Amino acid sequence: MKKELEKAIKGFVSTSPSNQLKDSDERYFAEPMIGYADINDPLFSEYKTIVGDFHLTPVEFLEAEYGEAYPRSGTVVSWILPVSLAVRRSNRKGKKIPSFEWSHTRYFGELFNESLRKYVVALLRTRGYRTLAPVLAAQWKRVESPEAGHASTWSERHAAYAAGLGTFSLSDGLITRKGIAHRAGSVITELVIEPTARPYQGPYDYCLKYNSNTCGACIKRCPAGAITEKGHDKEACHQYMRQVIYPKVNEKYGVTIPGCGLCQTKVPCESRIPANTPVSR
C-alpha cells in the first residue's frame, strides 16, 4: 500500500491541472517528498510543550473523529510540495513584495494542496483505512497564544519534522532536502507504515545560523525587519503582510492570501540543505 500511496501522491502532483500557474505551462509545485511518523510517536505529545497545549496529537484527532473505537495504531503521512523553479526564480527578484507567481502559488497552490489532502483521504478510505486530514477536520482551528503567537491546533511543519522531512530555521520555515520554499500537507491514517528515520539530531540542524553561526541571509531579505539573530517575529511579519503586501497586491494579483516568501528565496536554503551544513543530509 505504501508504494501505491506514493505513486498516487506523485501522480496527482504531476498530472493535476490544478497544479498549474494560470495561463502558463509552469507548475506551482515540483515532485513531492513523502515521510511517515508513528501516530504514537512521543514527539507529538512533546509538541504540547514545544508548540503549546492547544496543539493536538494524531490520536486526539482520531478519537474526536471516530469516538471510542478510534484506531490505536497508524501513521501520519506527511508531504512537502517544493515550489517550482520558475516560481522561486520570480520571487528572487522581489525586494518589498512577492511576485505574482509566488502569490498565486501561496493562494491557488494551497487550494491544490487541499485537494491533494482530500484525494489522499479518499484513496485510503476506499482501501478500508480510516483516515482524516487534520487541517480539514472540525478540531483544526487557528489559535492566538501569548507564547506561540499566531498558531493552530495542527502544524504541518511539525508533522513533517516528525516524519523525517526537515528541520526548522531562523525564519521559522522548515528546511528540507528540497529547501525551505514549499507547502506542506498531511493526513492521519490507521494504515501502519514504517516510520521514516529522522536524519538529524536537533530541530535546527539544517539552518546555518544555528549550526555554524553563519549566513543570516534571510535577515537581510526580510523587508519588515521581522527576522533577527534571535529568530522570527511572527507579529511583525503578519503586520507587514496586512499593512503593506495585502493593499499592494491582493486586488492586482486576484488573491486574498498572497504570502510573501522573500525570506525563502534568494537564500542558501531556498532549494536544498545549505552547503557546509555539518550534519547528515
Chain residues that interact with ligand SF4, rule: CB under 6 A? 169-171, 207-209, 215-218, 221-222, 224, 226-227, 232, 237, 240, 260-263, 267-269, 274
Taking the complex as a whole, how short is the minimal distance between the CB of residue 263 and ligand SF4, in angstroms? 3
Write the CA distances from 146 to 52, 151, 253, integer angstroms.
10, 10, 33
Beta carbon nearer to ligand SF4, 9 or 218: 218
Q: Are 74 and 188 in contact (CB under 8 A)?
A: yes
CA 76 to mean position of chain CA atoms:
14
Taking the complex as a whole, how short is the minimal distance between the CB of residue 2 and ligand SF4, in angstroms? 31
Query: H or E segment at 116?
Result: helix 100-126
Q: Are 269 and 175 in contact (CB under 8 A)?
A: yes
**Burial zone of 25 (CB within 10 Å; 0-12 exposed, 13-18 middle, 19+ buried):** exposed
Taking the complex as a whole, how short is the minimal distance between the CB of residue 216 and ligand SF4, in angstroms? 5
Beta carbon nearer to ligand SF4, 195 or 216: 216
In whole angstroms, what is the distance from residue 215 CA to residue 131 CA? 41
Taking the complex as a whole, how short is the minimal distance between the CB of residue 265 and ligand SF4, in angstroms? 9
Beta carbon nearer to ligand SF4, 165 or 222: 222
Beta carbon nearer to ligand SF4, 130 or 158: 158
Give the SS3 label for residue 205.
coil
Write the CA distances from 81 to 112, 116, 186, 223, integer angstroms.
10, 11, 11, 25
Beta carbon nearer to ligand SF4, 72 or 96: 96
Beta carbon nearer to ligand SF4, 11 or 225: 225
Taking the complex as a whole, how short is the minimal distance between the CB of residue 3 and ligand SF4, in angstroms? 33
Taking the complex as a whole, how short is the minimal distance between the CB of residue 160 and ligand SF4, in angstroms? 16
Residue with cell 505551462: 25
In whole angstroms, what is the distance from residue 140 CA to residue 137 CA? 6
In whole angstroms, what is the distance from residue 254 CA to residue 121 CA? 30
